[in-house]
A and B are shown apart, each in its own frame.
Chain A
């Protein structure tokens, strides 16, 4: 860890000012010299590993008074970016109306981490690719653009099979983001001069030719909240991992269904543990709309979700596993008593 300046502004404007001080438009946000500090469970880890090297941290926790609110007014949900994972997971109205949100949070990390970690920090957590996290490997295009990718021919069991590029196959590790992308969430962002709202699906960027650029946030910008329209009581988060708790997904699915008289009116499927970014399986969703649920349909949908998947040496199993996960998760959502 390198020495850094630490500030603790008490209102959003000063926080954004502080973050913009040295912002340069052409350096990716994740590499910016000034970083926001929320729970610190991703950021401090990566600083100790010398992967992230900010020279200044802007502690945004004093904004919690305003930014940790959870609001369920008018049939919509608004979640403050500084709300803690544990608080949101335990919120009775969210468990009832948005089980996919509560489950995705509850099944992530450990109780200690969930108590510290914020929703904003959670969606911006960085990949667990071991080559990315170990600076003794020079070749990592994400950390060291143009240097190659150590994972491509290395040990890549946990890597992605969807959304990969010739530059990077790192998995987006988070769970909560799958719930957000499935429910068409929007993200409220504030910057130095203005505030904007974008669809959550536009927040993350697939690696393509520049895996070092992970989001569409501009330097100096902060996420203030997430919003979800409508209620999704028939929704679930299904996660498969190498141990029963405290582990990232090998494959997961966020599912939300709207069923009327046995017919599926709306369907949402997002995939975790298998893709480079929060992943929406839109084509697969399309097969469900207007249909009645059965096992044959579930298998067809699962196939479609992984149509474009490409495996590497150790992670090819994720394709078959992912399909089974989608089918099971759909089954579970369809069978929910609501």
Chain B
């Protein structure tokens, strides 16, 4: 065991290395754009340099003279694709701004032409030579720009179901002993996964194969089929690996059907690798948000009233909102709650989900406000959370399936050395450095969705698992392989896992941290079908089967016992008795409370996610406590973060090694969302300015010298057969608030608008 492979505690699997580790570090792992195509045409996009207006004309003469140019597709000659509906409105696409449809421009960086050439270089050269003549209109950029329109999210967005409320907020706030009213803001951010937005399309007769990094191969397959007007069974999406996604590859973007249609028209495979800057506008982003939080409390810190109002930017075309009040209104016990989320429209590309979409901005506001309240009350911020901790969410009164928030705070505080903190702001210094400690609650809803899997067990003990899950760096191969190995009692190296292919049984989007819970629960169920067959063959006595089931511990029993039980099954005998060499089982699993049409939707690539606050009579979240030390140079105002620590409890931890790296990455992201990442806007033109990795700041190693992850034991038997809560997004929630809270502690200055840059400090 080592730091990277932590000793498993109770209800944790073995810390095994990543299934795909060697392939990845040796470069053998094949990503979408690595797939060699026969006689491909290379596509290069031309994107608009205005955010609003129309195209008057193209001047393609120069571009056409570039040697190797095959074709240039614009709205004047593009195939008219079928309309796509927004994913949150029952469709597949992340944006209904459909490029190449007309001369109108609705956003900066909209695709206005696709240049096709025999080489990437020729396509790029010709793309620069395409001249587009526009009539530009003055666009609306963001909050405060002239021309925005604002309206409640509820009613415009099917996905947005409620503005949670309970009791009488106004009255309770009015008479509260202690009050906080504060406004917060978070910036636009872009996912910037390492792997660029690439799409290769290959037609074979009337069948289409797409190589594209996707977090949802079944969604993409169905969406593209719909736009092309062909049968979804004729479309196959393949991606063995996704080089990071963070939500940006979750729903179809308009580029895919465009490339597919061009490939069909040219009768040749077409390969597109969009550039880094194009990625800022041809996919989604995390929109900027504004918040107002009001907290009322008694002198001893009990919340009596809470109101959270949020505003989010979306495009003119689409009403998108992350709507995090469904979480922030349920974090703490409080009898009087009110909330409202509004969508503010501007001339922008349609935003979408980005790692912990609602929680990152909304918990920033709530957890900053909680810290403000703690200082107002002269109370330790951890104690304030303890006083308001609850097992029942206040809106509907549902009980948390499990909630280890305070255990996380206590364990985290101990390891971090929270007791060393002097309560007074600006009271800790070290030479030239002002030192501050901050903490915040982290949480993420436990979500699950229907999935299907096929598992094959051979007489020689080899196992093959097929499920159209996604390896986005989350360790999907590893955990899927691990549960199959555990359930069927074979060593992990005998298990082969096949994912990332829409010809495999459907799995949900690798988003909302539902992936491990959904795919592993399904694989567990299908392995159980195999075990049943084996039991039946060896134990014709039905009563014994039930007994065996008990001893091998199906479902919630800890693995160690399950594995022990497994050894008791005599495979050889079972296969002999059955007279076969292979057992192969297919099964479909859906979580409790899944809607009636769950499996139908699953096969059509549509999500039916269940969980979090939207469960029938319970509520399920993973929790954590995050701690940050900041040091601020009193002369230069540079802000450094020498230590980040998170303590988390998230049900069963499948593999402490991969879980730890997920949570570490989360903490780094969370810190970065406070101090580094922000997409800067040119307000005159509604354009993104820093659309490259030199100017869009991400932390480097020197920014994160120490990141510590503590995983607590937690067992939850009320969520799913795998007992998993999901940790993909938990790590980066609350960190931004913890950073700002630490800055306040160091300096006495409360900063409410992210990102924090050194010029905002006034010390």
Chain A residues proximal to chain B, CB less than 8 Å: 1-3, 48, 50, 128, 130, 134-137, 150, 153-155, 157, 240, 242-247, 250, 317, 321, 324-325, 327-328
Q: Which residues of A have CB within 8 Å of B302?
A: none
Q: Which residues of A have CB within 8 Å of B680?
A: 155, 157
Q: State A327–B681 Cα separation when bound (angstroms).
A: 33
Q: Which residues of B have CB within 8 Å of A137?
A: 49
Q: State A247–B695 Cα separation when bound (angstroms).
A: 9
In contact, B684 and A153 (Cβ under 8 angstroms): yes
Known contacts being A136-B49, A321-B759, is A240 close to B636, with CB within 8 Å?
A: yes
Known contacts being A155-B682, A321-B637, A324-B636, is A243 close to B676, with CB within 8 Å?
A: yes
Q: In this assembly, does B640 line the interface, its C-beta being within 8 Å of a C-beta of chain A?
A: yes
Q: Which residues of B have CB within 8 Å of A317?
A: 758-759
In this complex, what residue of B is CB-closest to A239? B636
Q: Which residues of B have CB within 8 Å of A134?
A: 277, 691
Known contacts being A128-B694, A130-B695, A243-B702, is A327 close to B121, with CB within 8 Å?
A: no
Interface of chain B, main secondary structure: loop
Known contacts being A3-B125, A321-B758, A321-B759, is A154 close to B689, with CB within 8 Å?
A: yes
Q: Which residues of B have CB within 8 Å of A135?
A: 128
Shortest C-beta distance, B572 to chain A (Å), equals: 55
Q: Which residues of B have CB within 8 Å of A130?
A: 689-690, 695
Q: Which residues of B have CB within 8 Å of A243?
A: 676, 697, 699-700, 702-703
In contact, B695 and A128 (Cβ under 8 angstroms): yes
Chain B residues proximal to chain A, CB less than 8 Å: 47, 49, 121, 124-125, 128, 277, 635-638, 640, 676, 680-682, 684, 689-691, 694-695, 697, 699-703, 757-759
Shortest C-beta distance, A303 to chain B (Å), equals: 15
Q: Which residues of B have CB within 8 Å of A154?
A: 682, 684, 689
Shortest C-beta distance, B348 to chain A (Å), equals: 16
Shortest C-beta distance, B263 to chain A (Å), equals: 25
Q: Which residues of B have CB within 8 Å of A247?
A: 697, 700
In contact, B640 and A1 (Cβ under 8 angstroms): no
Given contacts A130-B695, A157-B680, 13 further A-B contacts (CB under 8 A): A3-B125, A48-B124, A128-B694, A130-B689, A136-B47, A136-B49, A153-B684, A155-B689, A240-B758, A243-B699, A245-B700, A321-B759, A324-B637
Q: Which residues of B have CB within 8 Å of A48?
A: 124
Shortest C-beta distance, B643 to chain A (Å), equals: 14
Shortest C-beta distance, A231 to chain B (Å), equals: 28
Shortest C-beta distance, A4 to chain B (Å), equals: 11
Q: Which residues of A have CB within 8 Å of B277?
A: 134
In this complex, what residue of A is CB-closest to B676? A243
In this complex, what residue of A is CB-closest to B701? A245
In this complex, what residue of A is CB-closest to B48? A136
In contact, A1 and B124 (Cβ under 8 angstroms): yes
Which of A2, A246, A250, A325 has a CB less than 8 Å from the CB of B700? A246
Which of A3, A157, A246, A325 has a CB less than 8 Å from the CB of B636? A325
**A-B contact list, 17 entries, CB within 8 Å:** A3-B121, A48-B124, A130-B690, A136-B49, A155-B682, A155-B689, A155-B690, A242-B676, A243-B700, A244-B640, A244-B700, A246-B702, A321-B759, A324-B635, A324-B636, A325-B636, A327-B635
In contact, A155 and B703 (Cβ under 8 angstroms): no
In this complex, what residue of B is CB-closest to A327? B635
Q: State A1–B122 Cα separation when bound (angstroms).
A: 9
In contact, A244 and B703 (Cβ under 8 angstroms): yes
Q: State A242–B701 Cα separation when bound (angstroms).
A: 14
Known contacts being A136-B49, A324-B635, A328-B635, is A245 close to B702, with CB within 8 Å?
A: yes
In this complex, what residue of B is CB-closest to A316? B759
In contact, B636 and A1 (Cβ under 8 angstroms): no
In contact, A244 and B125 (Cβ under 8 angstroms): no
In this complex, what residue of B is CB-closest to A157? B680
Q: Which residues of B have CB within 8 Å of A327?
A: 635
Which of A153, A242, A244, A325 has a CB less than 8 Å from the CB of B702? A244
Q: Which residues of B have CB within 8 Å of A2?
A: 125, 128
Shortest C-beta distance, B727 to chain A (Å), equals: 26
Q: State A154–B697 Cα separation when bound (angstroms).
A: 19
In contact, B758 and A50 (Cβ under 8 angstroms): no
In this complex, what residue of B is CB-closest to A331? B635
In contact, A328 and B636 (Cβ under 8 angstroms): yes
Q: Which residues of A have CB within 8 Å of B121?
A: 1, 3
Shortest C-beta distance, B149 to chain A (Å), equals: 25
Shortest C-beta distance, A85 to chain B (Å), equals: 17
Q: State A130–B694 Cα separation when bound (angstroms).
A: 10
Q: State A50–B121 Cα separation when bound (angstroms).
A: 12
Q: Which residues of B have CB within 8 Å of A250?
A: 758
In this complex, what residue of A is CB-closest to B638? A240
Shortest C-beta distance, B136 to chain A (Å), equals: 11
Q: Which 4 A-B pairs have the closest CB atoms?
A: A317-B759, A244-B702, A136-B49, A245-B702
Q: Which residues of A have CB within 8 Å of B124?
A: 1, 48
Shortest C-beta distance, A309 to chain B (Å), equals: 15
Q: Which residues of B have CB within 8 Å of A325?
A: 636
In contact, A321 and B636 (Cβ under 8 angstroms): yes
Q: State A242–B124 Cα separation when bound (angstroms).
A: 32
Q: Which residues of B have CB within 8 Å of A153?
A: 684
Q: Which residues of A have CB within 8 Å of B689?
A: 130, 154-155
Q: Which residues of A have CB within 8 Å of B757?
A: 242
Shortest C-beta distance, B515 to chain A (Å), equals: 31
Q: Which residues of A have CB within 8 Å of B684?
A: 153-154
Q: Which residues of B have CB within 8 Å of A245?
A: 700-703
Q: Which residues of A have CB within 8 Å of B701?
A: 245
In this complex, what residue of A is CB-closest to B636? A240
Shortest C-beta distance, B74 to chain A (Å), equals: 17
Shortest C-beta distance, B119 to chain A (Å), equals: 11
Name the residue among B636, B697, B703, B757 with the largest chain A CB count within 10 angstroms: B636
